Amino acid sequence: MMNWDQIGKYCSLFLADGVAGYFLQFIAYSLAIHAFNKLMIKPLRLFVMALTFSILAFGIKKLPINIDIILIMIACILLSYLLFKTNIYSTVLAVLLTALSVLIFELVTYGIANLIFGTEKFNYYFYDKSSIDNLIIKALIGIPTNIFLIIEMIFVYKIIPSKLKKGVYNGEDSKENS
């Protein structure tokens, strides 16, 4: 017989970690790549880019190595350049600055969560991976990071093109400058 409670928890984990975690974070990465390459946002392209990066990041996170963040950044850069035909320099800059923003927002978010829950309970949620409930709570704690990141990248997308009008890239087709 199926354990519906366990199935519900795994569905909640998928929504919290997969959709609200990976997908929202890579929407922000995709927005940054669009901004730094001065590309017009096309919803389908943005969605496909974010979905591709999310699936790739999920797979890389499952590898038994401790350099997953670096591999994810390299993969995002290469996929963006090879598959989505973006300028390599602008893409590297976008990915590195977005990763830096993620680190800063996570520091703030986890610091606030640590104050709210207390150090002992926060460490229990953050480091105990034996319970699916803790994994869901850990994923939910990270959602504000992704929301702030998307807001920042929308702001960057609106500001960068106007500040770089006299720049090197023409904004129509970044592959000419690769």
In a domain, 53, yes or no: yes
Residue numbers of the domain that contains 156:
12-164
Write the pLDDT tens digit of every residue in 84-137.
999 999 999 999 999 999 999 999 999 999 999 999 988 888 888 788 888 888
Predicted TM-score (pTM) above 0.85? no
* Whole-angstrom distance, CA of residue 42 vs CA of residue 84: 12
Q: How far apart are CA 43 and CA 169, in angstroms?
A: 22
Helices (H), the chain: 4-13, 24-36, 43-61, 68-82, 88-117, 119-127, 132-141, 143-163
41 in a structural domain: yes
Domain for residue 77, yes or no? yes
170 domain residue, yes or no: no
129 assigned to some structural domain? yes
Q: pLDDT by residue (tens digit) across 50-87? A: 999 999 998 898 888 888 889 999 999 999 999 999 99
Number of domain units in the chain: 1
Distance of CA 45 to the CA centre of its chain: 16
> Does residue 5 lie within any of the structural domains?
no
Q: At what angle do helices 24-36 and 43-61 cross, to 10 degrees?
A: 120
